[in-house]
Structure 1
Amino acid sequence: MTFLIQFSFSFFSSAAFGIIANIPRRALLASGFTGAIGWVIYFYFNQFFHSGAFSNFVAAFMIGCLSIFFSKKQKMPMIIFYIPGLIPLVPGGPSYEAVRAFALGDPNVGFEKLLFVMATAISIVGGLLMTSLAEQLVNKWIRFKKN
């Protein structure tokens, strides 16, 4: 039951952001699916490893792989699938809590939350970076095999 709830809410949040971002209608299902798979991977990796940074890295890597797959399949830019897919991973709650802690005069909690937000952002960027690197290596290997 947890899987269905996690999958459906993350699917709808990614698809809704796709609507707000005005992506093409034919890309909405793929964007929602990308975000849902990324969130479910994050959720279960976080349950198993208890590491938000590693879970975000793996989820961002999978979102990148799915974005590349859908971009080639639907002949659209990768970013159309990647940005809505990342929406469930964005640490909005901890960002708010960090700003709130600073505003209330509790810098220790604020810096703790800010560190979590920075680790999350860096791991998401690292996942995208590794996806791009893997795509370049695979394309180079395919070109090498053709020759």
Structure 2
Amino acid sequence: MRIAGEIILKSLGAWVAIWGFSRLLNAPKKLECYTAGVGMIGWAVYLIVEVFNDGILMKNFLAAVAVALVSQAMARHFKAPVILFVIPGILPMVPGAGMYRIVYSIVMGPENMVGTYLLETATAAGAIALGIFLGEALQKVFFYEFHR
């Protein structure tokens, strides 16, 4: 039960952070809460997968698929561009700390760690990109198949 509480609390924190990000980037006011909701869903999926599988690839991939599917649904419902929901949705998963570690290792220190950090960051970014692609492809296949 403790893990569920942590996931809910962290997901709500992600909602607040993404809502602020949406305000900062002047997202349409009527959609700010919904863009934050997409990000909250993506982060919740990330945290749930983390409980079962600590691999960076699976966490980012499944969360990105969820973000893509929910973003497509929101875009259709609100008749808005999908990118308006996808960018805030993937924001919590972006491997910014990995990029920092790469640059820090290049500038300050142990060069033998640059490759490790680079591989980890590229894996996370690739999993996010692949998850978005697959989520959008799945949505198009199912939407067009069942709504002819």
Cα separation, 2, equivalents of 1:3 and 1:47: 10
Partners of 1:35 and 1:84 within 8 A in 2 = yes
Q: Within the alignment, does 1:94 sit opposite 2:98 as a pair?
A: yes
Deviation at residue 5 of structure 1 after TM alignment: 2.0
Determine the structure 1 residue equivalent to 2:84.
80
TM-align CA RMSD: 1.3
- 1:2 equivalenced with 2:3 (yes/no): no
Is the Cα contact below 8 Å between 2:43 and 2:93 reproduced in 1? yes
CA distance in structure 1 between the aligned counterparts of 2:122 and 2:141, rounded to whole angstroms: 28
Q: State which of 135, 138, 146 in structure 2 corresponds to 1:134.
A: 138
Give me the whole-angstrom Cα distance separating, in 2, the residues matched to 1:12 and 1:41: 17
Equivalences for 1:55-134 in 2 at 5 Å? Answer: 55-134=59-138
TM-score (structure 2 length as normaliser): 0.91
Can you list the C-alpha shifts for 1:8-31, whole angstroms capped at 9, x where unaligned?
111112111111221101111111
Q: How many residues align?
A: 144
* Separation (CA, whole Å) in 2 of partners of 1:40 and 1:53: 16
**How much identity, in percent, do the aligned residues show?**
24
* TM-score, with structure 1 as normaliser: 0.92
Question: Are 1:41 and 2:45 matched, yes or no?
Answer: yes
Deviations 1:44-66 (A, max 9, x none): 21221111111100000000111
Structure 1, unmatched stretches of 5+, are none
Structure 2 counterpart of 1:134, which letter?
L
Q: Which runs of 5+ in 2 are unaligned?
A: none
Higher deviation after alignment, 115-124 or 105-114: 105-114
How many angstroms apart in 1 are the aligned matches of 2:13 and 2:102?
Answer: 25
- Code of the residue aligned with 1:50 in structure 2: it is D
Q: CA contact under 8 A between 1:38 and 1:63: conserved in structure 2?
A: yes
| Aligned-partner residue type, residue 64 of structure 1 | A
| 1:73 Cα offset (Å) | 1.1
Paired residue for 2:24, among 1, 9, 20?
20
Q: Residue 6 and residue 126 in structure 1: after superposition, are their counterparts in 2 closer, same or farther (change >3 A)?
A: same
